[in-house]
Amino acid sequence: MKALPNEIVLRPRFQLNLKGPAQPFLQLFQEADEPPFIVKISDHHVFIKFNRAETHFWSPQLQIEIVDQEDGNSTIYGLFGPNPTLWTFFMFVHFGVATLFIIFGIWAYSNKALGKEIGLQMGLMALMVVTWIVLYVFGRIGRKKGKPQMHQLHEFMLRHIQVQS
C-alpha cells in the first residue's frame, strides 16, 4: 500500500497490484462472510462495511474496484469513506455554505456599488468561511474516530487477497 501524505484528505485512496486476473479475487470476496463485516459485490466493485451492531456515526466503508490489466494481472483501486448518506449530507451542507457565501458576496458588491455599508455582508461571508472550516474540522475528527475501523477494513481486505496472491 502506498503511504498517504498528510494532506487535506477526508477520503483516503490506495492502489495495489495483484498477480492474476480479477475474477478469482472477486470470487474470494463473494465467499467472505465473516462478522462484523458485510461484503457486497457489483460487477468489479466490492463494498465492505461493518454490520449494524458495529457501526457508529463515523464508521467508514471500503469500496474497492478490481480491474484486469493487459499483462494478465489485476489492480485494486481502494477508497475509504463514510456512509454514502452521511457523505451526501456533508457535501450538501458544503454546497449550501458555498452558495450562501456567493449570495452574500453579490449582496456586498451591490451595496458597495450603491454606496451603502457592507459590514453586515462581509461579516456573513466571514461566518461562511468559519462554518466551512468547522465542517472540515468535523470531517477530520470523524475520520480520526473511524481510523481503527478503517484499519480493520484494510486488514480484512488484505487477508482475503493474500489467500490468492
Domain residue ranges in the chain: 13-82+147-162, 87-138
Q: Which comes out higher in pLDDT, residue 82 or 96?
A: 96
pLDDT, tens digit (0-9, with 9 covering 90-100), for 84-139: 888 899 899 999 999 999 999 999 999 999 999 999 999 999 999 999 999 999 88
User: 109 or 80: whose pLDDT is higher?
Assistant: 109
- Of 65-79, 118-132, 140-154, where does the model show the most confidence? 118-132
* Strand 45-50 with 60-68, pairing: antiparallel
pLDDT for 165: 47
d(CA 41, CA 17): 20
pLDDT, tens digit (0-9, with 9 covering 90-100), for 33-58: 788 888 888 888 999 998 888 888 88
Distance (Å) of CA 147 to CA 64, 72, 80, 125, 137: 17, 34, 10, 33, 15
DSSP state of 131: H
Instruction: Determine if the peptide bond prior to 36 is cis (ω within 30°).
Output: yes
- pLDDT tens by residue, 6-17: 454 667 888 888
How far apart are alpha carbons 128 and 119 in whole angstroms?
A: 14
Query: pTM of the predicted model, to two decimals?
Result: 0.72
Provide the pLDDT for residue 147: 86
Please state which of the four CATH numbers 3.30.310.80, 2.40.180.10, 3.90.1150.10, 3.90.25.10 is assigned to the domain occupying 13-82+147-162: 3.30.310.80
Q: Please report the pLDDT score of residue 125 as a whole number.
A: 98
pLDDT score recorded for residue 5: 52
**pLDDT value of residue 2:** 54
Predicted confidence (pLDDT) at residue 1 exceeds the cutoff of 80:
no
